[in-house]
Structure 1
């Protein structure tokens, strides 16, 4: 699919007006866009601008977070099961869990916070008790950001609730092709609490850890600021 073809499809989608969400919840917007564009994956192949491109859909004027990438390999200082048991909580299904969003320098309701060690180029995750749970290399985080999101097509939509069905619906009416991610902007966004680290794990009834991957997430409206080159295509 070429960039011109993508632009034509997005214009056609815009002209349809509000379309109902194909799925409930936060992921409805991305799933709906993929279905409307007849995509089976969350990225595109656009040969005339250099190959594969990640696709993200966001609601305008939203404070919600979207996932940039996931990474938790070799970062834990303690066994994940021990972390969930000692620092997690019982969720609504009586399951021991640790689903926790943490911003830099802000202690969250689970008594976790992020500390930045610039001299050693690391990010630490301590509990207020003093226990150190995980450490990420800044070089690795930034490298993951650049390699995963070298090119990004972000499509923005107005969102409203349908008066009859009560379901969410979207008007996809703005899109940008983003290229050349800026490491300094990523780190600035992290220090400004625009980027969060999201722990997403629980214990199964068997006692085995189910880890959905530690996500690095950003507020939807801020993702455009991470790139040097921004081309409006809709």
Structure 2
């Protein structure tokens, strides 16, 4: 199915009004859409679905930051900022969500400066960052073009209903919009790593997550298709 065929299906779906959910929980809006579109088959673009006016988040991509020195970043973070784990085989762990408006409970904060997204700490000086080139490379490799479909909703649980009435075709990485989303905490970063009893580190991936409805901020072209 191509974009033209998708637009036709979405317009038909829009005209149906509110539709009962096919599944309860946070995946209801995407599961219901998929079934209503008859599972689409192979589609050339990635689809993202969200309820309007909610703070539901999705993972944009997973990318480890650059650091100075280059080696030993994860072990340093765990040794200085990780907490002791109650798990038998884990010595320390660091699971934390980081925004830009204030330092979090573990002392981390994001700042945007000189075309870098920097991770800073309240008490210790650290040199950990993602620069513009790195972010553009990973964004274009992992995301590229996206169709974002938004739905009004009402009810809860098994009684929830969705009206799929807005959709955008999103193209091209917008670094300035990405930075603006970070400054407003529409995008946050998750650190997820552990150190075992032998002091070996396992990083589960540093992820950038965005409020679904704010995804268009990250793109140069935002084309309304319904």
TM-score by length of 2: 0.75
Which residue of structure 2 lines up, in the alignment, with residue 67 of structure 1?
59
C-alpha spacing 1:18/1:196, structure 2 compared with 1 (3 Å): same
Could you say what secondary structure the match of 1:132 adopts? coil
Residue 91 of structure 1: CA displacement?
A: 8.0
Cα deviations by residue, 1:179-231 (Å, 9 ceiling, x for unpaired): 23322222233334332222234467997655442222223332223334332
Map residues 75-154 of structure 1 onto 2, 5 A cutoff: 75=67, 78-80=72-74, 83-84=77-78, 86-89=80-83, 97-118=93-114, 121-132=115-126, 134-154=128-148
Unpaired segments ≥5 residues, structure 2: none
Aligned-partner SS, 2:109: coil
1:19 is matched with 20
Q: Give the direction of change, closer, same or farther, for the CA distance of 1:122–1:232 in structure 2 (3 Å limit).
A: closer
CA distance in 1, matches of 2:197, 2:125: 26
How far apart, CA to CA, are the structure 1 residues paired with 2:29 and 2:93?
Answer: 27
Higher relative contact order (CA 8 A, sep 6+): 2
CA distance in 2, matches of 1:209, 1:23: 37
**CA distance in structure 2 between the partners assigned to 1:71 and 1:189 by the alignment:** 17
Partners of 2:33 and 2:110 in 1: CA distance? 34
Q: Against the structure 1 CA distance between its residues 104 and 78, is the aligned structure 2 distance closer, same or farther, given a 3 Å change threshold?
A: farther
Distance 1:183 1:146, change over 3 A: farther
Structure 1 residues not aligned, in runs of 5+: 46-52
Give the Å deviation of 1:132.
1.9
C-alpha distance in structure 1 between counterparts of 2:23 and 2:87, whole Å = 26
Q: Does 1:2 align with 2:27?
A: no
How far residue 175 of structure 1 moved from its aligned partner, in angstroms, is 0.9
Query: What TM-score, normalized by structure 1, do the two folds share?
Result: 0.72
8 Å CA contact 1:23–1:31 kept in 2: the answer is: no
Could you say if the C-alpha distance between residues 173 and 79 of structure 1 is closer, same or farther in structure 2, counting changes exceeding 3 Å? Answer: same
Deviates more, 1:100-109 or 1:13-22: 13-22
Q: 1:162 and 1:84, CA in 2 relative to 1: closer, same or farther beyond 3 A? A: same
Structure-2 separation of matches of 1:186 and 1:224: 9
Contact 1:77 1:134 in 2 (8 A): no
Partners of 1:79 and 1:112 lie apart in 2 by 15
Which whole-Å CA distance do the structure 2 matches of 1:21 and 1:143 have between them?
37
Find the aligned partners of 1:28 and 1:72 in 2 and give their Cα distance.
31
Superposed displacement of residue 123, structure 1: 2.8
